[in-house]
Amino acid sequence: MDFNVKKLASGAGLFFTRAVQFTEEKLGQAEKTELDAHFENLMSRADCTKNWTEKIYRQTEVLLQPNPIDHTGARIEEFLYEKLDRKAPSRITNGELLGQYMQDAAKEFGPGTPYGSTLIQVGECERRLGAAEREFLQTSAISFLTPLRNFLEGDWKTISKERRLLENLRLDLDACKTRLKKARLAEAKTACEGELWSEEVEKAEHELRVAQTEFDRQAEVTRLLLEGISSTHVNHLRCLHEFVEAQAAYYKQCHFHMQELQKELGRLPNAFALNSTHSMAAAGSAAEGISSPVETDTLKIEEVQAPATGTRKAKVLYDYDAADSSELSLLADELITVYTVPGMDSDWLIGERGNQKGKVPVTYLELLS
């Protein structure tokens, strides 16, 4: 019990001494040991690294999880599973949920209808986009966010702790210098009590040597930790490259899925194009005085002839790669001549560009007047 009281009293006295030294330094009444310029630069670089790493980490979290409520919930869930030493389950992405809703709606509206069949295709694409997003989120969290968080919660806390200890030892050192200075002044003024003050000076000199040794040792430890910031930059640079690779792969997958979706939609019936196609077919048939029954024979493109009337100009909306020799490849924004022939599917037209001719999907075109 006595030991604890003495220890507490000693700690309180040390705290009071440091507080006095700090206050006197702020008031300009005490000298302060300055660190060398290289050491100051190391501390400034470390502070800069911490501040920007924290900002990048927080904003990357916002990028990967834009909704603040979902973000907070996800962090709480991850924290609980981490404390339970269990792996957190994969969270369904918004894209996957949207895709599921679209496919469920298609079942209600009828998968055989134009709207229902399109919902099925778009919903499947959204689910693929959501799966790609989930993979990107997991990869980014492991390869980029985790190293940044480890630095902030591990290395930086260690650096901060050692810097605080260094500052306390610096205050102790300067307090010893102040006591020695006062003891020497008192010794010089009171020659009659020289022996008494000589003992005080010797004691102050001893305390100063001890304080200087502890300060130098702690300064070296702190210096080594601060110099380790260079290794941190190298590690974060590698993580940044991995994050860019993951992001590039994610956007590449998204672009591929959207291109495939456009091709699939080009092969589905388009309710908006049906009326235009049927009108063109009726106009062409009436002009030539022929009927337009559906023929069962396979359409031979080389034998198709443009009608005398009923052709129209069309602007191509998207690039299209021909699936076979009967189709015509398209480039976005080009103008082609289109028309229909008897027996042709309503979601296709015959397109001509110069001496090239072939079937083209209606959904890739904008019919011009």
> DSSP string of 55-69?
HHHHHHHHHHS--HH
Domain ranges of the chain: 7-267, 312-368
d(CA 43, CA 158): 13
Pair 322, 353: CB distance under 8 Å = no
In this chain, the answer to whether the domains covering 7-267 and 312-368 adopt an identical fold is no
* Tens digits of residue pLDDT in 190-230: 765 555 667 888 888 898 999 999 999 999 999 999 999 99
Neighbours of 338 (CB within 10 A): 23
Q: Which CATH architecture has domain 312-368?
A: Roll (2.30)
Spell out, as residue ranges, where the chain has pLDDT lower than 50: 1, 3, 5, 8-9, 69, 274-277, 281-283, 285-297
Residue 212 phi, psi dihedral angles, 5° rounding:
-65, -40
End-to-end CA distance of the chain: 100
pLDDT of res. 188: 74
What is the model's pLDDT at position 124? 94
- Give the C-alpha separation, 106 to 122, whole Å: 10
List Cα–Cα distances, 107 to 101, 102, 216, 268, in angstroms.
Answer: 10, 9, 76, 17
Would you state the pLDDT for residue 288? 46
Is CATH 1.20.1270.60 the classification given to domain 7-267?
Answer: yes
Query: For the chain, what is the largest distance between any 2 Cα atoms, rounded to a whole number of angstroms?
Result: 138
- How far out from the chain centre does Cα 190 lie? 71
Give the pLDDT confidence of 150-182 residue by residue, as tens digits.
Answer: 999 999 999 999 999 999 998 888 888 888 888
Secondary structure, 3-state, 267-334: CCCCHHHHHHHHHHHHHHHHHHCCCCCCCCCCCCHHHCCCCCCCCEEEEECCCECCCCCCECCECCCC
- Global pTM reads 0.62
Both structure tokens of 236: 């974060």
Q: Is 366 helix (H, G, I), strand (E, B) or coil?
A: strand
Residue 209: how many other CB atoms lie within 10 Å: 11
- Residues 30 and 354: their CA atoms lie apart, in Å, by 93
pLDDT at 20 (0 to 100): 64
pLDDT at 5: 46
User: pLDDT value at position 13?
Assistant: 56
pLDDT of residue 84: 57
pLDDT at site 12: 57
Q: What is the pLDDT of residues 335-358, one digit of tens each?
A: 999 988 877 777 889 999 888 889
Euclidean distance between CA atoms 280 and 277, whole angstroms: 5
In this structure, the number of other CB atoms found within 10 A of the CB of residue 111 comes to 13
* Cβ proximity of 102 and 122 under 8 Å: yes
The helix (run of H) or strand (run of E) holding residue 359 is strand 356-361
User: CA-CA distance, 261 to 119, in Å (whole number)?
Assistant: 11
**Which structure tokens are listed for 47?**
């502070």
